Structure 1
């Protein structure tokens, strides 16, 4: 049985007009020729998707891919140039820092103002007010004008209001990256509570860990179009491959081709081998040295398919002396008795020097599987014993 649809986005495109004049005076002087100084920019192109009740959807993509524009179109803040959006239920939105706050009003006054904008009556706000202030943790400043608030205090109060207006749909745009660690943890716990209550969340984030932990579905946007709509692990993989393609394209624009790199990653292999009841991981990297430079090294990391970083190391962390003469060389790193949970994992590899320069990178270069049959589930693979007295 499928869940009912809360948001339906049908063939939505959004166009902005970019004016090349730098000032209003230039626009007036060049009024007759203004069309020659305008350029159409399509932030969204033919986007269609449906969001079911109770789902948590992540919108990811490069800067300028259209994530925030799509979120604002879903929220009704921007109207699409073509297409339509149908939405039902009460909505709360955290789209940008301090949106809906008046600088000259106090925190208390802004709580009532923001709650009214989000559809709460004064009586409802009176009932929730103490809980809102307690969640925000800024009791001492609630009667201070918000123009004196720090960015973290802004987000604390805005998030506290948004999650207490009993929304059916919560829209969040990157604001969870602001605030200290205890407050971010409190936000994550509140979102998890929302998920258990069957509420719907649409989240824009650049954090693969955040998307992987929270979302059951991911939309990858590129150039305003949907590149992927579905499994979060596959979406994050596509996003990372896009980052690497952009990096290589940038090198070409600046006259640097991969063939000109002083060090190249020629091949990467990984294997998990069972030996006497333990699992040993072997990583083999073939490196082509073309133009030797001092103090080069290799770094590697292991991620889950959802982007959670489990481990990272470099050859500088060891006492090994790497070869530094032209030609192809094979580097092998062995990790004995790796105790990570059953599943598939990705290995990222990079070459560089101690100054921080990157020579070549291979994100998600290879994957490996860990053995099945372990007791329990999770990132760690343990062998518990149980005794009964």
Structure 2
């Protein structure tokens, strides 16, 4: 993580930016002809992707943008990069901007990889001579090999990302915008990209990253912005931002299922954490045994079904997961509501806060229901390593 540099000059300034999109309900040309004029207004709906967003970004900072799907983080990144213009407000930039947005954005499918390198470079303001100087480095970094002379419409998603990232980082940008595209590449290339991002941080460049990988956001960013329904709801240090994001995910109601997860055959109503004596449990020590009581409500009988659970760290990483299928357990037909008991030990888990999720699904018929963040517990103690897994570490 680069050091916070609030004394450096601002390279991006956003003032009261809002972005409106128009959603049409008449999907065909024929319907649009029929609904021309005033009647057509009833078939249009305005959607505000961004609402009154203001922020300033200083040179040399690494900023993370997080939020649930549809929260406005990608829209904000496009506005920052000048890809789309705001409906209201202003965006000011200083320096050359390189943007890695949607997969294949800026590539012409009928051009070869080589031709797209020159096309993208010229769009970013480089001359042909400058692109020629960087071409060998771009080609080597991308790892596409002989496919550099193949039309990119035949590229895999991973090849797209590798070439796009190679172009972006070799065009000497002052500001690098990255939108989730690194999730497409393989693990080796992701490591290569992260190493390049750290080089950029050391050189004092400004980086803005959109990602659902909270551990990556936590390790790379000086500052994290949380978006929700088009609004900026938090702007500050990564740890607090991630906590705020997780609060939004559970909508301040731990143990309450989301409406879109409800099914008609069965529902998980609650998850309760108990100690070995059956008493409610909130805090444990590493190695202690935990019992989960999962309350399953039968809405209609189901012959064959399964249940599973997972334990997530505070950063959203899966620390532990299992289900009746993995354990080779066959449940009795669900004829009435019942409680399922799950017992596990906390051996191997680092100290910290954890949340518990559960999911029940039908085998004899397609039905399911999940309860996310149904309960929480804390493992006491001092962590000796990073991540949810605790193990013995010696350095000599």
Aligned mates of 2:374, 2:58 — CA distance in 1: 31
Partner of residue 47, structure 1: 53
Match among 296, 299, 317 for residue 308 of structure 1: 317
Partner of residue 379, structure 2: 369
C-alpha spacing 1:264/1:66, structure 2 compared with 1 (3 Å):
same
Aligned mates of 1:359, 1:68 — CA distance in 2: 29
Partner of residue 138, structure 1: 144
Match among 48, 58, 66 for residue 64 of structure 2: 58
Match among 208, 232, 249 for residue 259 of structure 2: 249
Partner of residue 20, structure 1: 25
8 Å contact 1:90–1:169 — kept in the other structure? yes
CA positional deviation for 1:369: 3.0
C-alpha spacing 1:198/1:263, structure 2 compared with 1 (3 Å):
same
Residues 152-207 of structure 1 show CA distances to partners (whole Å, capped at 9, x for unaligned) of 22222111000111212111122222233322332232223323333222222334
Partner of residue 100, structure 2: 94
Partner of residue 11, structure 2: 6
CA positional deviation for 1:300: 3.2
CA positional deviation for 1:321: 8.6
Aligned mates of 1:243, 1:180 — CA distance in 2: 36
Q: What secondary structure does 1:96 align onto?
A: coil
Instruction: Tell me the TM-score normalised to structure 1 length.
Output: 0.81
Partner of residue 73, structure 1: 79
CA positional deviation for 1:385: 5.8
8 Å contact 2:296–2:338 — kept in the other structure? yes
Two-structure CA RMSD over aligned residues (Å) = 3.4
Aligned mates of 1:118, 1:100 — CA distance in 2: 11
Residues 277-319 of structure 1 show CA distances to partners (whole Å, capped at 9, x for unaligned) of xx32332323335437556555333333222222222355558
- Structure 2 unaligned regions, length at least 5: 274-280
CA positional deviation for 1:322: 7.5
Match among 346, 360, 369 for residue 352 of structure 1: 360
8 Å contact 1:107–1:143 — kept in the other structure? yes
C-alpha spacing 1:198/1:283, structure 2 compared with 1 (3 Å):
farther
What are the equivalent positions in structure 2 for 1:287-366 lying under 5 Å apart? 287-291=294-298, 298-314=307-323, 317-318=326-327, 329=339, 331=341, 333-335=343-345, 338-341=347-350, 343-353=351-361, 355=363, 357-363=367-373, 365-366=375-376
**Residue-pair matches, total:** 373
C-alpha spacing 1:101/1:315, structure 2 compared with 1 (3 Å):
closer
CA positional deviation for 1:17: 2.4
Partner of residue 276, structure 1: none
